[in-house]
A = this chain, B = another copy of it.
Amino acid sequence: MNGAESLLRTLAGAGVEVCFANPGTTEMPLVQALEGVGAIRPVLGTFEGVCSGAADGYARMLGRPALTLFHLGPGFANAISNLHNARRARSPVVNLVGDHATWHRDADAPLASDIVSLARPVSCWVRSSVSSGQLAADGAQAVAAACSAPGGIATLIVPADAQWGEASGPAPAVPPRAPRPVSADHVDEVAAALRVSRSGALCLGAAGLSVRGQWAAARIAARTGCKVLGEVFPARMERGAGLPRIDRMPYFPERVSAVLGGADLLVLAGATEPVSFFGYPGVPSRLTPDGCNLATLAEPGDDVEAALLALADALDAPAASAALAFPAKTPVAPEGKLTPEAVGAVLALLQPEGAIIVDEAGTTGSAYFYRATASPPHTLLTLTGGSLGMGPAAATGAALACPGRVVIDFQGDGSALYTLQSLWTQAREQLHVVTLVCANRSYRILEVELARAGVAQPGPRARSLTSLSSPDVDYVSLAKGFGVPGQKVDDVATLKAALARAIAEPGPHLLHLAL
């Protein structure tokens, strides 16, 4: 057995089932070893950002380690942007990055570069393997690092000679670090603070946004009157009619201040302190209001769910009940012109039970979130790290993780262009992904930001950098090029019919929404 096979057998034994790959020459022994190690299915992406974003989406849905395979520093570099989102989502991802044979590194061949320096900013664990005999043990450590609470990116650099050299066999799995339990005393302290608070707020993140976490939070709110908010960009949030009435932290800092204004206590459960997404002149970074006490019930690496349940019980909170949930009211069915509001309403109206909604719709998406409270229960994945191009790729990985569920990628047009190669993988794997490209033909958020900075009428040069017109991008043709059927949609009636059809038919579809 060579090092490559010993590594893949180790990873398979630790629960790895899919490898999102864009390999090159230095990874050929690993590619060959995939033939023999049947438990790991290779999935090709034609750009590395597709692979890393797919790994993120897959890991968010399954909580199991997602594996990638990249070609030296430059190949890995293309994956970094979506790994940044995965890092912020705390997704368990293991990257294998091929490298030159150890004895070839001194030659400084054209593709050589400092992979460790590239990997550190997105990785909680980085190792450059030194020998074929060590590779299996390194792989076991990588999975343990990625899966240790709260989850993270482990990057294992695999020299070619460590792949092709002899190895004795796979290594046993290494147990990951479990979520840290939160002590009863600490729960009691937070309960005491909530009891005396007149205007409290509870912010949920990480496992706090699971169905069980949300129900515990809703019970706490029913008992104490505190507000409950999800973090602004949750990695994964279960939502819809019948689930607890939980709002989300707003995006702009002045909106956060409005929501938290007057609060005397902010309890964090799996969330970090709310901060401004960007620094603006005269606006503080940290958005906890003056005079508001901050209490951390559980950090993301703690057992957030158990802590919330314990807190609800410590407060003698009432049992979960339908009264605490979003009602299953009939959602609005708009007509006429295709506006962001109408698109959000149609999506909320038509999305089926169990849908996975990947939201990278940017400014167009804001109306959707509130509409979807009346939709059947579903899963929402959002842009955790702010790095554009998450949507098409994460949707691909989510669909591979959950073959029985429809994935809807609610996608901005500017952000779509960073990883649109995802459509090819969706076509090859015949994944049931519906991509809704919200084509407002601009980086609209930048126009909003310029206006916020007092530039109401940007000049032609600034406009040339925020506009996506001249020429308009034709997403239906792009989809066709990648083997995905598409349709351009100009009004609400057409959108309803086209979206219903795309949801009903297996395989990928793309709708170009001309906003």
Q: Which residues of A contact B (CB under 8 A)?
A: 21, 23-26, 28-29, 31-32, 34-35, 42, 44, 46-47, 49, 73-75, 77-78, 80-81, 84-85, 88, 100-101, 103-104, 106-111, 113-115, 117-118, 120-122, 160-161, 164, 233, 272, 275-279, 281, 285-286, 384-388, 414, 417-418, 421, 424, 427-428, 443, 445-446, 449-450, 453, 455, 458-462, 464-466, 468, 470-483
Complex Cα distance, B475 from A446, in Å, reads 31
Complex Cα distance, B111 from A49, in Å, reads 17
The smallest beta-carbon distance between A51 and chain B, in angstroms, is 11
Query: CB-CB < 8 A to A466: which residues of B?
Result: 31
Copies in the complex: 2
The smallest beta-carbon distance between A130 and chain B, in angstroms, is 15
Complex contact B74–A77 (CB within 8 A):
no
Q: A275-B108, A475-B481 are in contact. Are A42 and B88 (CB under 8 A)?
A: no
The smallest beta-carbon distance between A175 and chain B, in angstroms, is 29
Complex contact B465–A233 (CB within 8 A):
no
Query: CB-CB < 8 A to A480: which residues of B?
Result: 474, 477, 481
Query: CB-CB < 8 A to A483: which residues of B?
Result: 471-474
| Sample (14) of A-B pairs whose CB atoms are under 8 Å apart | A25-B449, A31-B450, A31-B462, A46-B468, A74-B386, A74-B388, A88-B110, A100-B278, A109-B276, A110-B384, A110-B386, A417-B421, A427-B471, A479-B481
Complex contact B464–A42 (CB within 8 A):
yes
Report the nearest B residue to A387, measured CB to CB: B74
Report the nearest B residue to A165, measured CB to CB: B281
Query: CB-CB < 8 A to A427: which residues of B?
Result: 471
Query: CB-CB < 8 A to A107: which residues of B?
Result: 275-276, 279, 285-286
Complex contact B477–A111 (CB within 8 A):
no
Q: Which of B23, B80, B388, B474 contacts A80 (CB 8 A)?
A: B80
Report the nearest B residue to A102, measured CB to CB: B279
The smallest beta-carbon distance between A89 and chain B, in angstroms, is 10
Q: Which of B31, B84, B115, B449 contacts A77 (CB 8 A)?
A: B84
Complex contact B78–A74 (CB within 8 A):
no
Report the nearest B residue to A82, measured CB to CB: B74
The smallest beta-carbon distance between A128 and chain B, in angstroms, is 14
Q: Other than the known A77-B84, A109-B285, what 19 A-B pairs have Cβ atoms closer than 8 Å? A: A23-B446, A24-B446, A31-B465, A35-B461, A46-B418, A74-B388, A77-B80, A78-B78, A103-B285, A110-B233, A111-B277, A117-B121, A118-B118, A118-B121, A427-B471, A474-B483, A476-B481, A477-B477, A478-B482
Complex contact B285–A106 (CB within 8 A):
yes
Query: CB-CB < 8 A to A482: which residues of B?
Result: 471, 473-474, 478
Q: Which of B29, B49, B385, B458 contacts A78 (CB 8 A)?
A: B49
The smallest beta-carbon distance between A390 and chain B, in angstroms, is 10
